[in-house]
Amino acid sequence: MSKVHVNRPAVVRYAERIKKWRTVKGNWQAAWFLKAVTCIDLTTLSGDDTPSNVYRLCFKAKHPIREDLLKALDMHDKGITVGAVCVYPARVTDAVNALKAAGCNIPVASVAAGFPSGQTPLETKLAEIKLAVEYGAREIDIVVSRSLVLTGQWEGLYEEIRQCREACGEAHMKTILATGELGSLTNVYKASMIAMMAGSDFIKTSTGKEVENATFPVGVVMMRAIREFYWKTGNKVGFKPAGGIRTAKEAITWLMLVKEELGVEWLTPELFRLGASSLLEDIEKQIFYHVTGSYALQHDLAMA
C-alpha cells in the first residue's frame, strides 16, 4: 500500500471526458431511468425527521413512479421499488414498521459509527451499529475516521473497519470514505482497498454533508480499486456514490461509468447504489415528460 500512487492529471482528464458522454434517448433513456430508480437509497438524514415524514418516504420507496406512468411503459407489473430506505438509527424502527405495513421487503439502511464526522470513540461507534441492527436495519452505512487516513495509520483504519464489520453481524456494511476530506486521490485509493480488505460489502464516496461529495475523479479511482480487489480476491464489492447527485442525467452518467469500469454485472442493487434524497423527484419528472410529452406540475407527482 505504501507504494501506491494515483496519476491525478490523467484521472481528471478522463473525468472531463466522462462529462461529455452523450446520453441515450427515447425508450432506452426511460429504461435507464427505471434502472437508476431500483438502485436508489432513498434517504432522509435531517435533524427534523419525524415518524410522519419517514412513513411518507417509505410509501414513496414502494411506489417510486406513478402507477399510470409505469403502465404506459408496460412496467407496472415488474415490482419496481427503490434499493433501500436510509435513515438515522433513531428512525429505523419507524421505517421498518412503515415498510412492514406497506407489505414490502425493501431493506432499511441506517447510518452509524459517528455519522457524519466520525469523531466519536470506537466503543460508541460499535454500540451505535449494534443498536441499529437490533432495531431492524439490514444495511449499515459506517463512516471512517478521516484522521487515521490523513496521518497514515493504515493498520489502525483496517482494525477499526474490521471491528465495525464484526458489529454489523448479518447486516451488510457500506463504508463511507468521505473522499472530500481525505486530501488526495492516492489516499482515496488506499482507503478504498483497506475498507475492502476489512470486509466492507460496499464502499461509498461521501456522507453528503461534506463540501465536496461524489465526483467523477473519485468515482473512477474507487471503481479501479474495486476492480483490482476483484481480480486479486474474486470478491465483488459494491459501489455507492452519494451526495450532490440531483438530476436524472447525472444518474445515467454514473450508471454508464459503472458499466464501463466494472461491467454489466455491477448494475444491480446488490452491487450499485445511488445515495440521494432529491434525485427520485427529477427522474419521475423525466419519465412523466417521456410518457405525456408535457412537463409535470408541482401537484402531479407525490412528495418523497
Give the CB-side neighbour count of residue 201, counting CA atoms within 13 A: 20
Closest-CA residue to 178 (of 95, 251, 240): 240
- 190 carries an active-site annotation: no
Closest-CA residue to 246 (of 285, 282, 212, 271): 282
How far apart CA 7 and CA 247 sit, in angstroms, is 29
How far apart CA 52 and CA 241 sit, in angstroms, is 27
Q: What SS3 state is found at 41?
A: strand
Closest-CA residue to 194 (of 152, 132, 250, 240): 152
- 204 carries an active-site annotation: yes
What is the residue-wise DSSP string for 253-289?
A: HHHHHHHHHH-GGG-STTTB-EEESSHHHHHHHHHHH
Q: Which of 62, 174, 190, 204 is catalytic?
A: 204
Q: Which of 60, 125, 174, 240 is catalytic?
A: 240
The residue whose grid cell reads 481525505 is: 182
The residue whose grid cell reads 432529491 is: 278
Amino acid (one-letter) located at 44 = T
How far apart CA 10 and CA 265 sit, in angstroms, is 26
How far apart CA 61 and CA 40 sit, in angstroms, is 9
How far apart CA 153 and CA 155 sit, in angstroms, is 6
> Which are the catalytic amino acids?
204, 240
